[in-house]
Structure 1
Amino acid sequence: MSRGPATVRDRFATSARHYGAPLAIYALSRVVTTVFILVAAPGRTVRMEKLVGYHSTVPARLPADYGSVVTSWDGQWYWDIVLHGYPSTVVDTSGHAVQSSLAFFPLYPALVKAVMAVTGLGFEVAAPTLSLVLGAAAVLVVFRLLEVTVDRGRALACTALLCCFPATAVLQSAYTESLGLLLVATTLLLLVRRRYLWCLVPVVLLGLTRNITVVLAPVVALHWLVAVRQQRRDDSQAPAPVQHGRLALLVVACVAATAEWPLLAGLLTGDARAYFRTLAVWPGYTQSPLHPPWLSAAGGLGVGGWVGVAVLVLAFAALLGGRTQRAWGPELWGWTVVYPAYIFLASGVTSSLIRYLMLAFPFGLVLMPPATTAADRRSRLWVVGVFCVLELVGQYVWVDQFLVFSGPEGGFGYP
C-alpha cells in the first residue's frame, strides 16, 4: 500500500532534480532583471500620457515604480481589454481608422481576467505574475525540447542564453511573449515526438495569442519531408509509418489559425477588415511580405544599403547552413531559419524587433558545436558565459532605454 505514494515522491524528486537547474537559471535571471527595472525606474520623469501615440488605461504613478513599468506600453492595452472588453468599431467619428485594442489578441487578457477573478488581485499584480509563471513553464518546455533534440549540456547553455536575452524583461511584464514562447516550444516538442493531433491544441491557442502560426507551417512541412526520406532510406529503422493525413491537417491548421483573430474581430465589429485597418495605424505595419520595409529602407541608403542586406543574408545562411546546424533536427533548425525570415518580411523597422527575436531561441546553439572532450566543454562554457554577460549588459540598456520611458529627451524607442 505504501509503494504508490513512495513512487509519486520518487518521481517528484527525480523531476525536481532534472528540471531544477533550468528553473534556477530562470529564477536568478528574473532577480537580475527586477534589479535592472528598479534601478532604471526613477529615470521616468515625464508622464507617458503625454507621449504621442501612447495609450493610457491607468495613469502611471510618479515617481515610477516596478508595477508601473511592467504594465506600461502594450500592457496598457491589455489592461483596457480586461476592464472594458473590445470596442465595436475601429474608426473615429470622422470615419478614419484609429489605434484600437482589436490589434491585440484575446487569449492573454482572458487568462489575466480569469486569474483576477479567482484570486481577487488587480491587473497590476495578476498580469505580471501570470507572465512570470508562464515564462517559467516556457523555459522548462524549451529546455526539454533542446534536451531531446541535442543534449542536456547544450540545452542548459541555450536556456541560459535565452534567460539573459536583452528583451526578457517582457517575461515578467504584461506582454504575450511568455505565453507565445510556451505555445511555440510546446508545438515543436509535440512535433518532435510525433504527437500531431496534440499539436493542434497549442497551434489553435497560439492563433489567439500572436500572429505567427503561419511560421509553423513550413516547419511542419520540413518535418514531414524528413520523415518521408527517413522511411524511404531505411524502412526497418523508421520509428513509425509517416502519418500523412495528420501532418496535412496540421499544416492546414497552422495556416488557418492565422485567420482566427482577424475573423473574430470582424464578427465583433461587423467590419471584415477591422483587425487589419487598426493594425495599419501602427508604425511599421507591413501591408505585404512581398514589399518588406527593410528592403525599402535599404533602397533608401543606395548601394551601401543593398550591400548591407546582402551581407546580413549571407551571414545568416553561413551561420545556419552547416551540417552541424542541420543536425539539430528539422523542427529546431526549421524554426530558427523560418521565424527570423518571417520577422524580416512581415515587420517594420522598429525597436520591437529585439523583443520579437527572443522567440528564435534555438539560435543560441550556433555558439555550441557538439563537445567531444572535457576541453571542448570548458571552452563552450566560457563562450556561453561571455555571451550571457554581454546579453545582460544589453538587457540593462534595453530596460533603461526602451522599457522604462525617460521622456522625449531620453530613450531610443518603445519595447
Structure 2
Amino acid sequence: MARVLTRAAPDAPVRARPRRPAPRPAVRAALLGYLAVRAVGVLVLVHQGGAAGAAHRLSGMWDARWYRQIALHGYAGTAPVHGPHGLYEPYAFFPAYPLLVRAAALLLPLGAAALAVAWAASLAAAWGIFAVAARLYGDRAGVVAAALWGVLPSAVVEGAAYSEALFTAFAAWAVHAALRRRWVAAGLLCAAAGLTRPTGLALALAVGAAALLELAPRRAGPGGPGAGPAGAVPVRRVDPRALAGALLAPLGCVGFISWVGWRKGRWDGYSRVQDAWQTRFDFGRSTLVALRRLLAAPEPVWLADVVAAGTLLAAVVLLVLSALRRQPPVLLLYSAAVLALALGDAAYFSSRARFLLPAFGLLLPLATALARTRGRAVPAVLLGAAALVSAAYGGHAVFVHPDAP
C-alpha cells in the first residue's frame, strides 16, 4: 500500500514534535541577512554626517546621554536636569544596559563601548528572533524574520546607545525558552529583561502566564498516569520548574522599581520620577488625540508622527493576523501586552515606533508570507527596498528630527 505524505499548512505553528537545533548555515544566513540590511542604514548615516558624526549621534543623542552618564557615574553620581515639567532624574532608566556599557568601557572608550554593547545585543536579538520563528514556522521564515526586524522604521535605534536591542534579545530568548518549556531559563531571562526596560512587565506577564498554564489541570487518557478504571480523570501535575519560572519572571522589573521607591522614600517613587517626562498609562487617550490631530490639523506635521501612527495601525492589524494564525499563547500575549503599552502611553507619540521594536512576534505573519514565495528573488527585493526606506528614515530620525527617535 502506498504511503501518503502530508505537510502541515505553512501558517500553522509546528508544535507536534520538537525541532532539532537550527543548522549552522541557517543561523549564519539570518545573522548575515540582518547585518546586510543594517549596513544599509549605517552607510546612509555615514553619508549624511560622516563616520565620526554618525558615531557621535548614535552614542550621544537623547536617552543615550543618560545611559552613558549612568555607566560612568552611577545613579547617585548622575546629576538631574531641569525640564519643562519637572526634574529629569536618572532613575527613569533601567540598569542592565549601562552596567554592560560600564563593563565594556574597561576595554573601550565609553562611546565605543556603548555602541559595541548595542550592536552585540542586536545580533543576539536577531538570533533569538530567528530561533523563535524557525522553531514555529521553519528556518526560512526565521531568516526572513531576523531581516524584517532590521528594516523596521525605527531600526536605527538597534545600533544606537539605547536599551531596545538588549531588551529584545532577552525577550526573544525568553520566549524561545518558554516554547521549549525551559521555565527556569525563561524566568531568568525575563528577570534580566525586567532590569533593562519597564516593558519587562509585559514579558513577565506573558511568560508567567504560560508557565502557570503548565500547572492547570490535565486529563489523563485511559491507562495514563492518574487514570482510574473508568477511563480519563482530571489530574494536576505540578511542575516545580514552571512555578519557579513564573515566580522569577517579574523579579527584575519589580525589584528595580521597588529600589527606586526606596531611594525616593515613597512606594510610587518610580512613577513620580516619570512624571517629569509626562510618562503615564492613560489607556490610549493621548494616542487618540494625537491621531485626530494628524488627520485634522491644518499645520504641517512631523514625519516621525506619521511614521508612528502608521506603525501603530500596522501593529494592530498584525496582532489580529497573529491571533488568527494561532500563534502560541506566550508569544501572542507578549505582543499584545507590548502593543497595549505603546498605545496606552501618554508621552512622546513620535517614539511609539521605537516602543514597538521588541514586539518581534508581530513580524511573523509577514515572515511566513515572504518565506512561502518561490525562489529567493521576491523576499530579497522586498527586504532590500525596505532596508533603503528604513535607512532613509533612520537618517531623518538621527540628524533632522528634533525629538528622541
Does TM, scored on the shorter chain, surpass 0.5? Answer: yes
> Given that residues 226 and 330 in structure 1 are in contact (C-alpha distance below 8 angstroms), is that contact kept between their aligned partners in structure 2?
no
> Given that residues 134 and 142 in structure 2 are in contact (C-alpha distance below 8 angstroms), is that contact kept between their aligned partners in structure 1?
yes
Structure 2 equivalent of residue 351 of structure 1: 350
> Given that residues 204 and 249 in structure 2 are in contact (C-alpha distance below 8 angstroms), is that contact kept between their aligned partners in structure 1?
yes
> Given that residues 204 and 253 in structure 1 are in contact (C-alpha distance below 8 angstroms), is that contact kept between their aligned partners in structure 2?
yes
Give the superposition deviation at 1:70.
1.3
Quick one: which amino acid aligns to residue 280 of structure 1? Answer: D
> Given that residues 31 and 146 in structure 2 are in contact (C-alpha distance below 8 angstroms), is that contact kept between their aligned partners in structure 1?
no
386-395 or 152-161: which moved more? Answer: 386-395
Give the superposition deviation at 1:322.
5.4
Structure 1 equivalent of residue 230 of structure 2: none
Quick one: which amino acid aligns to residue 336 of structure 2? Answer: V
Q: Provide the C-alpha distance between the structure 1 equivalents of 2:59 and 2:312, rounded to a whole number of angstroms.
A: 36
Q: Does 1:38 align with 2:46?
A: yes
> Given that residues 122 and 169 in structure 2 are in contact (C-alpha distance below 8 angstroms), is that contact kept between their aligned partners in structure 1?
yes
Q: 1:237/1:16 Cα in 2 relative to 1: closer, same or farther (>3 Å)?
A: farther
| RMSD of Structure 2 on Structure 1 (CA) | 3.9
Structure 2 equivalent of residue 194 of structure 1: 181
Q: Does 1:219 align with 2:218?
A: no
Structure 2 equivalent of residue 19 of structure 1: 27
Q: Provide the C-alpha distance between the structure 1 equivalents of 2:274 and 2:223, rounded to a whole number of angstroms.
A: 51
Give the superposition deviation at 1:258.
3.0
Q: Does 1:402 align with 2:391?
A: no
Q: 1:182/1:302 Cα in 2 relative to 1: closer, same or farther (>3 Å)?
A: closer
Structure 2 unaligned residues grouped into runs of 5+: 1-21, 226-235, 298-309
- Identity within the alignment, %: 23
Quick one: which amino acid aligns to residue 27 of structure 2? Answer: Y
Structure 2 equivalent of residue 57 of structure 1: none
Q: Provide the C-alpha distance between the structure 1 equivalents of 2:173 and 2:222, rounded to a whole number of angstroms.
A: 29
Q: Provide the C-alpha distance between the structure 2 equivalents of 1:313 and 1:235, rounded to a whole number of angstroms.
A: 49
Give the superposition deviation at 1:181.
0.8
Q: Map 1:250-329 onto structure 2 (within 5 A).
A: 250-283=245-278, 285-286=279-280, 288-290=281-283, 292-297=285-290, 319-321=318-320, 325-329=324-328
Structure 2 equivalent of residue 9 of structure 1: none
Give the superposition deviation at 1:66.
2.5
Give the superposition deviation at 1:28.
1.6
Q: 1:361/1:110 Cα in 2 relative to 1: closer, same or farther (>3 Å)?
A: same
Q: 1:173/1:303 Cα in 2 relative to 1: closer, same or farther (>3 Å)?
A: closer
Q: Provide the C-alpha distance between the structure 2 equivalents of 1:291 and 1:18, rounded to a whole number of angstroms.
A: 40
1:247-305: per-residue Cα shift (whole Å, max 9, x none)? 4554454445432222222334445444322211115x12x44464224546779999x
Structure 1 equivalent of residue 404 of structure 2: 414
1:158-214: per-residue Cα shift (whole Å, max 9, x none)? 111112222222222211112101100111011011111122211111111000122
TM (norm. structure 2) is 0.75
Q: Which of the numbers 53, 56, 77 marks the counterpart of 1:68?
A: 56
Q: Does 1:115 align with 2:104?
A: yes
> Given that residues 318 and 362 in structure 2 are in contact (C-alpha distance below 8 angstroms), is that contact kept between their aligned partners in structure 1?
no
Q: 1:322/1:277 Cα in 2 relative to 1: closer, same or farther (>3 Å)?
A: closer
Quick one: which amino acid aligns to residue 195 of structure 2? Answer: L
Quick one: which amino acid aligns to residue 138 of structure 1? Answer: A
Q: Provide the C-alpha distance between the structure 2 equivalents of 1:228 and 1:314, rounded to a whole number of angstroms.
A: 36
Q: Provide the C-alpha distance between the structure 1 equivalents of 2:368 and 2:223, rounded to a whole number of angstroms.
A: 30
Q: 1:87/1:230 Cα in 2 relative to 1: closer, same or farther (>3 Å)?
A: same
Structure 1 unaligned residues grouped into runs of 5+: 1-13, 43-62, 305-310
Q: 1:335/1:386 Cα in 2 relative to 1: closer, same or farther (>3 Å)?
A: farther
Structure 2 equivalent of residue 208 of structure 1: 195
Q: Provide the C-alpha distance between the structure 2 equivalents of 1:412 and 1:101, rounded to a whole number of angstroms.
A: 21
> Given that residues 75 and 173 in structure 1 are in contact (C-alpha distance below 8 angstroms), is that contact kept between their aligned partners in structure 2?
yes
Q: Does 1:378 align with 2:377?
A: no
Structure 2 equivalent of residue 391 of structure 1: 386
TM (norm. structure 1) is 0.73
Give the superposition deviation at 1:393.
3.6
Q: 1:259/1:289 Cα in 2 relative to 1: closer, same or farther (>3 Å)?
A: farther
Q: Provide the C-alpha distance between the structure 1 equivalents of 2:150 and 2:322, rounded to a whole number of angstroms.
A: 27
Q: 1:66/1:223 Cα in 2 relative to 1: closer, same or farther (>3 Å)?
A: same
